[in-house]
Structure 1
Amino acid sequence: MSARKRISAEQRKESRKDVALAILNNVPSSPRKMRYVADMIRGMEVFKALGVLKFSNKEASKKVEKLLLSAIANWEQKNERKAETGELYVKIISVNEGSTLKRLRPAPQGRGYRIRKRSNHVTLIVDTYKKEDNEINNN
C-alpha cells in the first residue's frame, strides 16, 4: 500500500470512530417496501424512532427496529457508556438493492411467468447531536 493510500485509509478510519453503524444484508423483501420504513425514521432521535418502528404495521419495521437497536449497542460499546435520551439520532439510513432470485410460475397455455423475489441491504449510522452543534458553532 502506498503512503497516499495509507494516509487516506487512516483518515477514513479516524472519521468513522465517532459514529456507529449497523448493516443488515440480504433481507428478503423488496427495497421499495424497506425504503418506505427507512424514510419514516431518517433524521429522528433514536428512542423516538424506536417508538415509531414498534407501533408500525409494516413487516420491514421489525427488521429495522432490530437493526437500530444493534447500532445503538455498537455506539454504546465504542463510547463505553449508555446512550441518553436526546443524544443520538439516525444520521444515515440507506437501502440498496440486493440479489434477485428468479423463479417461474405456471401460466395458461403452457407458458411460464417470471417471478422476481427481491432482497435488499440496509445500512444505518447513528451519531450524536452534540458533535454537529460544535461544528456549526465553529463555522
Structure 2
Amino acid sequence: MGARKRLTAEKRKEANKAVSLAKLNNVPTSPRKMRLVVDMIRGMEVFKALGVLKFSNKEAAARVEKLLRSAIANWEAKNERRAESGELYISLIKVDGGAMLKRLRPAPQGRGYRIRKRSNHVTLQVDTIKNDNQN
C-alpha cells in the first residue's frame, strides 16, 4: 500500500472511531417498505424514535427498533457510559437495495411472470447532539 493511500485510510479509521453505527443486512423486505419506516425517524432523538417505532404497526418497524437499540448499545460501549435522554440523535439512516431472488409464477397461455423478491440493507448511525454543534 502506498503512503498516500495509507494516510487516507488512517484518517478514515480515526473518523470512524467517533462514530457509532449498526448495520442490518439482507432484510427480506422491499426497500420501499423499509424506507417508509426509516423516514418516520430520520433525524430524531433516539428515545423518541424508539417510542415511535414501538407503536408503529409496520412489520419493518420491529427490525429498525432492534437495530436502533444495537446502535445505542454500540455508542454506550465506545463511550463507556449510559446514554441519557436528549443526548443522542440519529445522524444517518439509509436503506440500500440488497440481493433479489428471482422467481417465475405460472401465467395463462403457457407464459410465466417474473416475481422479484427484494431485500435491503439498513445502515444507522447515532451521534451526540453537542458533537453536531461543534462541527
The answer to whether the superposition gives a TM-score over 0.5 is yes
Structure 2, unmatched stretches of 5+, are none
Distance in 1, matches of 2:132 and 2:93, equals 17
User: Aligned-pair distance for 1:134?
Assistant: 2.2
Where is the strand percentage greater, Structure 1 or Structure 2? 2
SS at match of 1:118: strand
Equivalence for 1:72: 72
Report matched runs for 1:71-110 at 5 Å: 71-110=71-110
**Code of the aligned partner of 1:94:** K
Q: Which 4+ runs in 1 deviate beyond 2 A?
A: none
Distance in 2, matches of 1:101 and 1:44, equals 33
Q: Percent identity among equivalent residues?
A: 75
Equivalence for 2:55: 55
Equivalence for 1:40: 40
Distance in 1, matches of 2:132 and 2:118, equals 36
Equivalence for 2:133: 133
User: Aligned-pair distance for 1:39?
Assistant: 0.7
**Code of the aligned partner of 2:44:** M
Distance in 2, matches of 1:73 and 1:56, equals 22
**Code of the aligned partner of 1:20:** S
Distance in 2, matches of 1:119 and 1:108, equals 28
Distance in 2, matches of 1:101 and 1:119, equals 8
Distance in 2, matches of 1:6 and 1:85, equals 39
Give aligned pairs, total: 135
**Code of the aligned partner of 1:7:** L
